[in-house]
Amino acid sequence: MSSPQQVPARKQQDLQTTYSNFKTTLQQIASKIGDIEQEAEEHKLVLETLEPLSGDRKCFRLINGVLVERTVKDVVPALRTNQEGLKKVLDDLVKQYKNKQDELDKWKLIFK
């Protein structure tokens, strides 16, 4: 049998592990949010740069590590589509972060 002191220590360790898991998950989501925000900002800057240019003007785009030559009129719609997709992913990540934070807050109230 285990002594009375080991049971609370084990429970304390389990609580600490659960708390650490919550914090790690929140940090990972926050990191992803930061990455997506940065990528969305880059798309915004590129679109702001390309929009005033002639549609026939040559530009280059990096696709899967390969630099390809395109025209502005070909690149701008693809960038807009990507930007909209990034916004949706960002919204989903923010919701996921808020839900996980709420879950952590509820968990904290249970063990106060």
38-70 pLDDT per residue, tens: 999 999 999 999 999 999 999 999 889 999 999
Model's pTM, two decimal places? 0.81
Q: Whole-angstrom Cα distance, residue 81 to residue 112?
A: 47
- In this structure, what is the dihedral angle of CA atoms 86, 89, 90, 94, given to the nearest 10 degrees? 180
80-98 pLDDT per residue, tens: 999 999 999 999 999 999 9
Query: Residues 107, 22: contact at Cβ < 8 Å?
Result: yes
